[in-house]
Amino acid sequence: MLTELSPLTRKLSAFVALSDADVATLTRFDLRRRSFTPGHQMIHEGQSGSSAFVLAKGWAFSYKLLPDGERQIVGFHLPGDFLGLRSVLFRTSDHSIEAITRIEASEVLTSDILKSFAQAPRLATAVLWAASRDEAMVVEHLVNLGCRSAEERVAHCLLELGARLAHLELGDRTGYDCPLTQYHLADALGLSAVHVNRVLRHLREERLVTFQKGRVCFENFRRLTELAQFDEAYLDQDGPLLR
């Protein structure tokens, strides 16, 4: 059965045991299927009245631009992720989201979300949980920038993506396909692209990871995890709180 559920349903089920009615409501989130080409701006900072999306296939990233042109990538988004929830709750979006690969996603209207909360309180809890999990990822990202060296940051980022993809069965401990450029990594990690390149070379020379031609290969998962002080606790919370 699980294979027939949408990625979002699967994700939320990990938190609360959803009733059939809840699942039905969620299923309604999955109509209005759309697809986007690489580079498409799905959500614009400052835009009001934008809707949210549930990512079904492909990679995206959310970011903020500063007046001086600097770009900070806040996070990368993978299938199952809820995109632009904040843009809907606040009426005007405080960040932008861009497609990296070709993307398939379901558009979710503000009214869908608010109505479903009124009808299905368990679902509201589940969405709050999912939002909290996203916040936990941003927090870990913050720790990454605040406490770690360039090398540790790159390692941590590659490991986090690996762990998230593994949950989706899109990768394993040997590696995964990764459509990011070194510029993406640089803007996510607060480094220059030139330095990201050097760091990747060093990690390769140390036989820890390689990231070439769209593929990340873990050469020494153990040592890499130690180097990055990577602890995936923040990614998979232990089972349903609400039964």
Partner DNA sequence: CGATTGATTGATCCCTATCAACCGACGTGG
Partner DNA sequence: CCACGTCGGTTGATAGGGATCAATCAATCG
Q: Give 192 or 237: the residue with its C-beta nearer to DNA.
A: 192
Nearest CA to 98 out of 179, 9, 1 is that of 179
DSSP structural state of residue 207:
T
Taking the complex as a whole, the smallest distance from the CB of residue 122 to a copy of itself amounts, in Å, to 8
Dihedral sign (CA 215, 76, 209, 196): positive
Per CB under 7 A, contacts with DNA among 28-57 are none
177 binds a copy of itself (CB under 8 A): no
Let me know the angle formed at the C-alpha of 36 by 35 and 37, rounded to the nearest 5 degrees: 135
Q: Which pairs from 197-201 meet CB under 8 Å and 24+ separation? A: 199/150, 199/151, 199/154, 200/154
How far apart CA 164 and CA 79 sit, in angstroms, is 10
How far apart CA 216 and CA 209 sit, in angstroms, is 7
Stretch that binds DNA, among 19-27, 53-61, 112-120, 178-186 (CB under 7 A): 178-186
Number of chain residues interacting with a copy of itself (CB under 8 A): 53
242 binds a copy of itself (CB under 8 A): yes
Q: Which residue of 128, 143, 194, 241 would you call a contact of DNA, by CB under 7 A?
A: 194
> Tokens 């990296």 appear where?
100
Burial category of 76 from C-beta neighbours within 10 Å (exposed 0-12, middle 13-18, buried 19 and up) = buried
229 binds DNA (CB under 7 A): no
Taking the complex as a whole, the smallest distance from the CB of residue 94 to DNA amounts, in Å, to 25
Per CB under 7 A, contacts with DNA among 128-167 are 149-151
Q: Which residue of 17, 24, 31, 139 would you call a contact of a copy of itself, by CB under 8 A?
A: 139
Per CB under 7 A, contacts with DNA among 206-225 are 212
User: Which option in DNA, a copy of itself, none does residue 40 bind, with CB closer than 5 to 8 A by kind?
Assistant: none
Number of other CB atoms surrounding residue 198 within 10 Å: 13
How far apart CA 56 and CA 144 sit, in angstroms, is 28
181 binds DNA (CB under 7 A): yes
**Which residues of the shown chain bind DNA in the complex (CB under 7 A)?**
149-151, 181-183, 190-195, 197-198, 200-201, 212
Residues that bind a copy of itself (CB under 8 A): 64, 66-68, 70-72, 74, 85-86, 89-92, 94-95, 110, 114, 117-119, 121-122, 124-125, 127-129, 131-136, 138-139, 141-143, 145-147, 187-190, 229, 233-234, 237-238, 241-242
